[in-house]
Amino acid sequence: MEYLTQSPPGIVDQRPRKRQRRVWDVLPENLTAQLGLFCAQEAGAVPELKSDKEFVRFSSPPLREDDKNGRYVFAVGDNLTSRLIDQLFDASFLVCVLGTFGQVLECWDRESKEMVAIKIIHGIKQHMDDTRIEIGILQQLGKYEPARSRCVQVRNWFEYRNHICIVFEKLGPSLFDFLRENNYRGFPIDLVREFARQLLDIVAFLHDLRLIHTDLKPENVLLVSPEYIKVPDYKLLRHLYLLLHSPKEGSYYMRLPKSSSIKVIDFGGTTVDSPQNTYVVSTRHYRAPEVILGLGWGYPCDIWSVGCIIVELCSGDVLFQTHEDLEHLAMMEKVLGPLPGHMLRRADRHAEKFVKRGRLNWPEGCMSVKSMEAVLKVPRLKNIVRENVDHSASDLVDLLHGLLRYDPSDRLSAREALRHPFFTRVTVGRS
């Protein structure tokens, strides 16, 4: 298998360049002469428009200023090109999904006759430069079958009114959205096992290519299909008090996806493994201890994130619900035990304030009573699993201890994790 040894030439040096500007913002004076350019096709391949009114129906919306964050301002029903028109999401989802670097719209593709998802990047130069690299990475990954089945697929891309727009296949909701619709109740353990297997499979593939995703979280793992069924939540039904005081009508039912197939999205932060990787990566709650302590990071930071995701899928709750570094490290110690002294002693100048006499400066360094209470409420990993898992609890706890080892050099690799009894014991039992 080919792998990447540096920020790859196929991604950076030959990354997509700016395409020729298309005249989508201004209606042409001569409709017949400009028809091919408007539709981005040869004139002979375009059906004849019967009137100026029909042409206007497929024209671009009025020019609007971007908002203060550089975000494209749209209205439902706008045309992004002559072939793409904004549509409403299903009633259970939003019209627009906002992200750090852009927003995602659901659109109708008139040419392929299907719904697609379009990521519109903020009109900020740095964001657009990073996006061109992301496009290159996704196009490279699309050459491999494992990536096509486990990573979101790019259909096309174009520039529109100083925004890069990436056309993706339309997928279902994220695992986070699904948990939220279930009132943050965890998935059944057999479903968690299938999600974990697929997630580790794609992480193993990325690592074989010497790529690190760096931002794995439930929001970036999408179900392929939005279809689901409703089943009684027997765990809730066992608690009559909770049933009678349900915060939401029908909450004694829970949703289960009809298909367990998932795909990973958001490769904007994906990078090549390097000893110089010392900057902060990953969303806070899924950030590995070596990243917080400034020790440098590599493939194992993805593995830590996967461990945090698996716990969240079981329990419905974020494992480390915090927004502050020292509190985050203290929660880790509460869940997993003391941090190794050799890691604390090597903390960089930004994190050395968290260490005192060779150990974590907690609770002495605690900034508030509220912070101390938050740490005290966090249960041990073993208790979290046993409270939420009916069977396979021992195997799952052992797997999680391997994925969440403090020292990245001791942490399981994705390939090693896939050979763990949590996955193999079930396979043997079914054969």
Residue pair 378/161 in contact (Cβ under 8 Å)? The answer is no
Count CB atoms within 10 A of the CB of residue 289: 26
Active site residue 266: no
Instruction: State how far the Cα of 216 lies from the Cα of 131, in Å rounded to an integer.
Output: 18
105: CB partners within 8 A, 6+ apart: 74, 80, 86, 95, 96, 117, 118, 120
Cα distance between residue 52 and residue 31, in whole Å:
8
Give dist(CA 191, CA 389) in Å, integer. Answer: 11
φ/ψ of 30, rounded to 5, equals -105, 100
Whether the bond between 363 and the residue before it is cis, its omega within 30 degrees of 0, is yes
What is the C-alpha separation between 251 and 82, in angstroms, rounded? 44
First CA to last CA distance, the chain: 30
- Name the active-site residue from 109, 177, 215, 395: 215
- The residues that bridge with 253 in the sheet, in sequence order, are 232
CA distances from 298 to 27, 151, 161, 211, 220 (A): 51, 20, 37, 9, 19
DSSP H helices in 340-380:
341-345, 369-377
284 burial via Cβ count (<10 Å: 0-12, 13-18, 19+) = middle
Q: How many helices (H) and strands (E) does the chain have?
A: 17, 15
Instruction: Let me know: does 164 contact 132? Beta carbons within 8 Å.
Output: yes
Whether the Cβ atoms of residue 348 and residue 365 lie closer than 8 Å to each other? no
Q: Residue 164 contacts by C-beta under 8 Å, 6 or more apart in sequence? A: 120, 121, 128, 131, 132, 135, 157, 158
Residues labelled as active-site residues: 215
